[in-house]
Amino acid sequence: MKDTNTPLNWLRAFEVSARHLNLSAAARELHVTPAAISQQVRLLEHRVGVALFERNARGVRLTRAGESLLPVCRESFERMDAALLELFGKRKGNRLVVRVLLGFARTWLLNAVAGFTALHPDIPIRLVASVWPGEPLDTSVDVDLRLASSPPKGLEAHQLTHDCIFPVCEASLARRLQRNKKEMDWSSQRLLHTIGFAQGWQQWMAESQIKRKTQATDLEFDSAQLCLEAASLGHGIALARSSFVTDYLDSKRLVALRGASLEARDNVFLTLALGLSAQAPAAVFRDYLLSQAEPPPMQSH
């Protein structure tokens, strides 16, 4: 095994999957897709060099290596939770913590936050980024702008986006690819994949009736923003979501290619705890954000 840090989300995906022995149940607990859970577990298995689960038609079960790792992970997470509680206790004061999926509607959101602080200087705000969609809402977060296929249960939720999904690339590459009106040769292009979303290149290719297998030159990213940055540098074609790519299209760093546009099955929801008073900072922020003019992420491609 390489001497580098192992991402905690891989270990969390393993621990929850091992506890349920069911990837779909693990995905529901962590509010991600089963595909994201499977991807993280496989990345962990690749890192440690052994299989942690035996997979068959009935589901999954732990290997001996998985049985050895499970109590270590469980104890480690319990110790971290206990240490955080001991060191910091419950968060005090009226600071509003807003978590947002990295790369979502950057210009619109930051302008909205700046407008809110101008109106409510008595409510300090902290913005934190979430790389993986659907991370659980805990006591450290007041408002969560998260990706979900439906309103999350047990939370107040307001859908912010109605995304569409389409291919984008750097402008000069787009000109070369679309120089003539003949059908594009997708087999010769590097595709940039973002893992964790409900839909990706496989679904877009099926909708577009294009047959192409994943190639060794393709790249995978665990962040939509990193994927779009790579595309803007000319390193391939990314599959973009309208609420994530607006800034890139407006600045001409990326352009949309001809082709099908998928309606997204998962969209961004503004979520917060149920039953808050109208004067609570999270409720005040919710009302302000929803009162703004229709945000760019709600506009389709």
| Averaged pLDDT for residues 201-224 | 87
pLDDT over 90 at 217, yes or no: no
Q: Which pTM was predicted? A: 0.64
198 & 238 share domain: yes
> Would the pLDDT of 258 be above 60?
yes
Same domain, residue pair 154 and 276:
yes
Residue 150 lies in a domain: yes
* Pair 192, 236: CB distance under 8 Å: yes
The number of C-alpha atoms within 13 Å of 117 and in the hemisphere containing its C-beta is: 13
Give domain status of residue 244, yes or no.
yes
pLDDT at 288 over 90: yes
Same domain, 29 and 114: no
Least confident of 20-24, 67-71, 108-112, 176-180: 176-180
What is the mean pLDDT of the segment spanning 160-164?
91
Res 238 pLDDT > 80: yes
Last residue of a domain, one of 88, 117, 135: 88
Average the pLDDT over 184-190 and give the result. Answer: 83
Same domain for 253 and 171:
yes
pLDDT for the residue 93: 55
pLDDT tens string 56-110: 877 889 999 999 999 999 888 888 877 766 655 555 456 899 999 888 878 888 8
pLDDT of residue 187: 79
| Contact criterion met (CB below 8 Å) for 220 and 193 | yes
pLDDT (0 to 100) of residue 44: 94
Instruction: Give the lowest-confidence range in 172-181, 189-198, 228-237.
Output: 172-181
Least confident of 51-55, 174-178, 187-191, 270-274: 174-178
Task: Using a pLDDT cut of 70, give the percent of the chain over it.
Answer: 88
Domain range enclosing 71 = 8-88
pLDDT score recorded for residue 154: 86
Residues 43 and 189 in one domain: no
Same domain as 56, residue 198:
no
In a domain, 3, yes or no: no
> Residue 37: which CATH number?
1.10.10.10
Instruction: Domain count for the chain, please give it.
Output: 3
pLDDT at 88: 56
Q: Are residues 54 and 108 in the same domain?
A: no
pLDDT over threshold 70, residue 300: no
Poorest-pLDDT segment among 39-48, 132-141, 159-168: 132-141
Q: CB under 8 Å to 215, separation ≥6 — which residues?
A: 187, 190, 191
* Domain shared by 180 and 246, yes or no: yes
Q: Does 168 share its domain with 258?
A: yes
Q: Does 2 map to a domain?
A: no
Same domain, 168 and 241: yes
How far is the first Cα of the chain from the last one, in angstroms, to the nearest whole number? Answer: 44
Rounded (5°) CA angle 208-36-142: 110
Task: List, in order, residues 6 or more apart from 153 with CB less than 8 Å away.
Answer: none
Contact in structure between 264 and 163 (CB atoms under 8 Å): yes
pLDDT tens-digit profile of 106-138? 888 888 999 999 999 999 999 988 766 556 666
Does residue 41 carry a pLDDT above 90?
A: yes
pLDDT digits (tens, 9 = 90+) for 259-276: 788 999 989 999 998 888
Q: Which two tokens stand for residue 241?
A: 């979501």
Q: Does 1 fall in a domain? A: no
188 and 147 within one domain? no
How far is 239 from 202, CA to CA, in rounded Å?
A: 11
Confidence grade of residue 153 (pLDDT, cut at 50, 70, 90): confident
**Residue 160 predicted with pLDDT over 80:** yes
Selected residue with higher pLDDT from 218 and 259: 218
What is the mean pLDDT of the segment spanning 127-152?
79
If one compares 281 and 132, the residue with the highest pLDDT of the two is 281
CATH of the domain at 290: 3.40.190.10
| Residue 73 shares a structural domain with residue 84 | yes
Residue 80 identity:
M
In a domain, 242, yes or no: yes
Is position 192 within any domain? yes
Residue 173 placed within a domain = yes
**Residue where one domain finishes, among candidates 60, 88, 116:** 88
Q: Which of 55, 88, 121 is the last residue of a domain?
A: 88
